[in-house]
Amino acid sequence: MRRPPEAPDWSKAAVLRRLQAVTPSGQAAKAHIFLDVPEDEVDATARRLFGEAVAAVGEPAAVGRLGQIHPLARSFAIEADPRVLAEIGRSAAVRDVLPSEIDDILPRPSKDGEPT
């Protein structure tokens, strides 16, 4: 029997490292930020975190855009320089960071009947 592949590390730090590694210089990474704040504070917190992170990084290349804000999910989408994402990820209000694009998570069938 084949050994299943190792599951990726989904911690904030690991996700931010992967986004930094796969994003070409001068390009924006896309992510979803999940917050640990009450539902009615999601919009203001997302805007504040984005503004503070862009100001902290301070370079024109670091400017990105805030995407859709989802109060019920306590999350927001963002497209920005990985340094901005890392700065946002340092906040105590951020529970998790996930990349917008995730590889297929289902096992793939193989000829011998064992998933790969």
Q: Is the residue at 17 inside a domain?
A: no
Q: What is the pLDDT of residue 113?
A: 57
Give the tens place of pLDDT for each residue, 2-43: 666 677 788 899 999 999 999 888 889 999 999 999 999 999
pTM: 0.80
Residues 77-109 pLDDT 10s: 999 999 999 999 999 999 999 998 776 666 667
Task: Say if residues 87 and 6 touch (Cβ distance below 8 Å).
Answer: no
Q: Is residue 64 part of a domain?
A: yes
Is 110 contained in some domain?
Answer: no
Residue 10 lies in a domain: no
Structural domain total, the chain: 1
Provide the pLDDT for residue 4. 60
**In-domain check, residue 19:** no
